[in-house]
Amino acid sequence: MSVTKKDGLFSNLKQDIPASVVVFLVAVPLCLGIALASGAPLFSGIIAGIIGGIVVGAFSGSQLGVSGPAAGLAVIVLSAISELGSFEIFLAAVVLSGVFQLILGYAKAGIIGYYFPSSVIKGMLSGIGIIIILKQIPHSLGYDKDYHGSLAFSQPDGHNTLSELYYMFEAITPGAALITIISMAVLILWEQPFMKKVKLFSVVQGPLVVVASGIGLNVLFQSIPSLSLKANQVVAIPVADSFSGFIGQFTTPDFSQMLNPGIWVVAATIAIVASLETLLCLEATDKLDPQKRVTPTNRELKAQGIGNILSGLVGGLPITQVIVRSSTNIQSGGKTKMSAILHGVIMLLCAMAIPAVLNLIPLASLAAILFIVGYKLAKPVVFKQMYKLGVEHFAPFMVTIAGIIFTDLLVGIILGLVVAVMYILYNNYKKPFLFETDKHLKEKELHLELAEDVTFINKASILNTLGQVPNGSKVVINATRSVNICQDVIEIIDEFETSAKYRDITVEILKRERRGVENQRKVAEFALNEV
């Protein structure tokens, strides 16, 4: 969908600037945590966040999506760096993965994202909301064994999401817990209607107040031993001594191993996984968008490809669109993609100029912000709405949620998709033809009106129905409305027509007027272009 004048880059700065600051605050520890889990230099996560905001944001057609390093790729990156032998060789694979994504974009592979049912997408959003809350509870109390931004159930140390909720009681930090309580009180207060009536409070975002107060409390607690925070309980951006030192944190790829098949395998793996995560996040973000704008998926793949090429060239991690940052952007009032671009600009400037100030931000403050994000993604009303839609929608929804919580994002989505497809197949099995007792069954005359699309899935039900026709009857098989009939079904009807002669059954077949159908999407597009 094209951007209207109302959605111009500079027409909503009043909303986009505050939203970009909140997204930046949430993104920084996520970038660092994912880099740590990936076994890569910490600054590589910041590089990916900067490029995901500025470069991908500029080329993308998504108005609210925010890109950066993704937790779903952390395990792939960790094993790839080990297998390829160095981080520099791995960067060459990142560049190549971006090329692959460009190819996918020009090949119009973005349509894949539309094949995931709404129940699975909503399950993904609710599942991520729940996992965010579960993962942030330990951080809110000062227990930081699991890296910030993790979405996986199992952890490298043998613990998991649920077991961490037990172990965290062994290492509660009073200072972190107090900061969380104060931060939550501020955020809940900011959500109240009477606060939004005050102009100052409507301009200044609650998360900004939370971060500022968190920094103040952290500085204050440094003089109180019982409340002071440890090094792993605050943001930890690498600090350079000078501008040249800052530039020195960027890394160039080693292309000398490009003939190594391992690089191509890693690049293809990253391209496929990153593209799938991006398309799923894109679909989810469009559903959260208050204006319900539709993002061009092929353009998004191209934007992600450009971003990954550049990220690999300067030492960054692979990039995807990320639902945590995107949903934070939406909930913070972002209106256009300027908020995503500005969050990257802010990250770049702060990493250059004030990394020491950023390193005063408590993770407990950010955990409180993410609690609100998680709750808004997994509101109880969503569960009620999905339950009312019936089991064929509620089951894939719940399976997706359970899969995300107890495995990881992609596995959970695949499990939900499998359940959704099973219900689709079952419904197709039940409806191979239209049959109304009072209309289609008169004495010993049976009328079967075949569906528009009859596939091999319908074989069993058609075979069973024809097998129960009593001897001496008349059967009228009406295929005039059918556009496509699978050859398997045609063979069943032909065989029934043959066997009917021996059972004194009269068979009348009203044949199709058309065989096959044109690509209706292309026909419609051509007609619209002619208007």
Task: Give 386-424 pLDDT, tens digit per residue.
Answer: 999 999 999 999 999 999 999 888 899 999 999 998 887
Look up residue 119 and give its DSSP letter. H
Per-residue model confidence (pLDDT) at position 400: 95
Let me know whether 382 and 466 are in one domain: no
Domain count, the chain: 2
The band of 4, judged by pLDDT with boundaries at 50, 70 and 90, is very low
**Does the structure show a pLDDT above 50 at 3?**
no
Average pLDDT of the chain, as a whole number: 87
The string of pLDDT tens digits covering residues 501-515 is 888 888 888 876 655
CA-nearest of 170, 185, 173, 187 to 221 is: 173
CA atoms within 13 A on the CB side of 434: 11
The string of pLDDT tens digits covering residues 225-252 is 999 999 889 998 988 888 888 999 999 9
Let me know whether 131 and 24 are in one domain: yes
Distance separating alpha carbons of residues 164 and 367, to the nearest angstrom: 15
Per-residue model confidence (pLDDT) at position 93: 97
Let me know whether 469 and 374 are in one domain: no
Whole-model pTM: value is: 0.80
Distance separating alpha carbons of residues 459 and 433, to the nearest angstrom: 11
Distance separating alpha carbons of residues 304 and 317, to the nearest angstrom: 12
In sequence order, what are the residues at sequence separation of 6 or more whose Cβ sits closer than 8 angstroms to the Cβ of residue 215? 357, 360, 361, 362
Let me know whether 142 and 30 are in one domain: yes
Let me know whether 313 and 383 are in one domain: yes
Let me know whether 384 and 472 are in one domain: no
Distance separating alpha carbons of residues 166 and 160, to the nearest angstrom: 10
- The residue among 356, 388, 420 that closes a domain is 388
The string of pLDDT tens digits covering residues 249-300 is 999 999 998 999 999 999 999 999 999 999 999 999 998 999 888 899 999 9
The band of 185, judged by pLDDT with boundaries at 50, 70 and 90, is very high
Look up residue 116 and give its DSSP letter. S
Three-state DSSP class for residue 295: coil
At 442, which CATH number?
Answer: 3.30.750.24
Cβ neighbours of 403 (radius 10 Å): 26
Distance separating alpha carbons of residues 395 and 397, to the nearest angstrom: 5
CA-nearest of 171, 187, 180, 172 to 214 is: 180
The band of 61, judged by pLDDT with boundaries at 50, 70 and 90, is very high
Per-residue model confidence (pLDDT) at position 218: 95
Per-residue model confidence (pLDDT) at position 318: 96
Beta strand pairing call for 320-321 and 67-68 = antiparallel
The answer to the question of residue 348 being in a domain is yes
Let me know whether 446 and 321 are in one domain: no
Single-letter amino acid, residue 386: M
The answer to the question of residue 17 being in a domain is yes
Beta strand pairing call for 453-454 and 506-510 = unpaired
The answer to the question of residue 100 being in a domain is yes
The answer to the question of residue 189 being in a domain is no
pLDDT mean over 53-57: 96
The answer to the question of residue 518 being in a domain is no
Residues of the chain with pLDDT > 90: what percent? 55
- What is the span of the domain harbouring residue 325? 11-148+236-388
Please give the residue that has the higher pLDDT: either 213 or 145: 213
The band of 440, judged by pLDDT with boundaries at 50, 70 and 90, is very low
The answer to the question of residue 427 being in a domain is no
User: Considering just the CA atoms, what is the radius of gyration of the chain in Å?
Assistant: 28
Let me know whether 133 and 278 are in one domain: yes
In residues, how long is the chain?
531
**Does the structure show a pLDDT above 60 at 441?**
no
Let me know whether 317 and 440 are in one domain: no
Max avg pLDDT among 28-32, 34-38, 234-238, 337-341: 337-341
Let me know whether 255 and 336 are in one domain: yes
Per-residue model confidence (pLDDT) at position 471: 86
Per-residue model confidence (pLDDT) at position 66: 96
- The residue among 388, 418, 444 that closes a domain is 388
The answer to the question of residue 247 being in a domain is yes
**Does the structure show a pLDDT above 50 at 328?**
yes
Element (H, E) at 3: none
Let me know whether 375 and 278 are in one domain: yes
Give yes or no for a contact between 307 and 270, defined as CB atoms under 8 angstroms apart.
Answer: no
**Does the structure show a pLDDT above 90 at 53?**
yes
CA-nearest of 31, 16, 12 to 350 is: 31
CA-nearest of 428, 370, 372, 426 to 396 is: 426
Give yes or no for a contact between 252 and 313, defined as CB atoms under 8 angstroms apart.
Answer: yes
Q: How many helices (H) and strands (E) does the chain have?
A: 24, 9
Residues of the chain with pLDDT > 70: what percent? 91
Give yes or no for a contact between 478 and 447, defined as CB atoms under 8 angstroms apart.
Answer: yes
**Does the structure show a pLDDT above 60 at 189?**
yes
Distance of CA 514 to the CA centre of its chain: 41
Distance separating alpha carbons of residues 84 and 109, to the nearest angstrom: 29
**Does the structure show a pLDDT above 50 at 65?**
yes
Please give the residue that has the higher pLDDT: either 201 or 268: 268
The band of 439, judged by pLDDT with boundaries at 50, 70 and 90, is very low
The answer to the question of residue 202 being in a domain is no
Distance separating alpha carbons of residues 144 and 231, to the nearest angstrom: 10
Q: Which residue(s) pair with 485 in the sheet?
A: 454
Give yes or no for a contact between 91 and 270, defined as CB atoms under 8 angstroms apart.
Answer: no
Let me know whether 373 and 482 are in one domain: no
